[in-house]
Amino acid sequence: MRCFIVIILLSNAHNSMLVNDLPVFYSFRRCPYSMRARMVIDHCVIGVELREVLLSNKPNAMLAASAKGTVPVLVLPDGTVFDESLDIIKWALDQDTHNSNTLNLSVFVQDSEAGKSLIEINDGKFKRALDGYKYGQGFPEKSQQQHRSEGELFLQQLETLLESHQFLLSDQMSLVDIAIFPFIRQFAFVDKNWFDQSCYPLLQYWLQHFLDSELFLQVMTKHPVWDESKETQNLINH
């Protein structure tokens, strides 16, 4: 997969039409929900107009599309709006004509309860423990150590899965790996020294695989914050 970020000045009608024909993707680069949606969009080789935003200064256009005020938000040319990362991922996989077999769409159907369960735990109990661990002062009911210990229950579960195969569901990367990876990354980097010395060697290797991947490095490329008052746009062309 190769994808190129192109900064284009909309100086003529042709370029304006090009942008209007692309889905608009509002994102914050370090947000794990945005990250996993971007990784799937890039993996599926789908062109979008990327609008990098500051969560402290949310653009009116994004709020008009989704009053939730959270990222990611995907706005299709027909006005359809997706403002949940898993819904955006489902949409991307539906558009994909290149890589769907390698991402194992079955996690969204009933014959993959294990995959759905992992994502639910990640987005529920583990995310709450992660928030408490990372933003300890905002969660005074428990110590940072207690939040970390609660998060470790999920790390232990993933470590056990990786004893049987290279990735979480099999020896082939699946959507579950991509959906969970950004959150494990965030947990690990709260205290990287602790994580590197922890008793999760297989999970450490799994995490490093994604950190070194072209897919992740592309998603983490820095782009200018989108400015509603200007006509410069970030286009992801594949």
Instruction: List the domain boundaries for the chain.
Output: 4-101+216-237, 107-213
CA distance 149 to 133: 9
pLDDT at 2: 40
pLDDT at 124: 98
Neighbours of 167 (CB within 10 A): 18
pLDDT at 10: 33
Per residue in 27-58, pLDDT tens?
A: 999 999 999 999 999 988 899 999 999 999 99
Q: Do domains 4-101+216-237 and 107-213 have the same CATH topology?
A: no
Q: Is the domain covering 4-101+216-237 a CATH 3.30.9.60 domain?
A: no
pLDDT at 11: 28
Query: Is 24 a residue whose pLDDT tops 60?
Result: yes
pLDDT at 237: 55
Q: Out of 64-68, 77-81, 141-145, which region has the weakest mean confidence (pLDDT)?
A: 141-145
CA distance 220 to 225: 14
Query: Is 12 a residue whose pLDDT tops 70?
Result: no
Maximal CA-CA distance, the chain: 58
Note every long-range contact of 165-172, with CB atoms under 8 Å and residues 24 or more positions apart, other chains counting. 166/206, 167/206, 168/115, 168/118, 168/206, 169/104, 169/107, 169/112, 169/114, 169/115, 170/104, 172/102, 172/104
Nearest 5°: CA angle at 94, between 92 and 100? 85
Question: How large is the average pLDDT for residues 11-40?
Answer: 77
DSSP designation for 228: T
pLDDT at 94: 86
* Contact assessment for residue 174 and residue 168, using Cβ atoms and an 8 Å cutoff: yes
pLDDT at 139: 78
* Residue 179, amino acid: A
pLDDT at 17: 34
Query: Is 230 a residue whose pLDDT tops 50?
Result: yes
- Angstrom CA distances, 40 to 59, 63, 92, 173, 188, stand at 24, 24, 7, 12, 22
pLDDT band for 180, please (50, 70, 90 cuts). Answer: very high
Which 3 state secondary structure label does DSSP give 81?
A: strand
Query: Is 158 a residue whose pLDDT tops 70?
Result: yes
pLDDT band for 62, please (50, 70, 90 cuts). Answer: very high
Domain at 107-213, CATH class: mainly alpha
Question: How large is the average pLDDT for residues 184-212?
Answer: 98
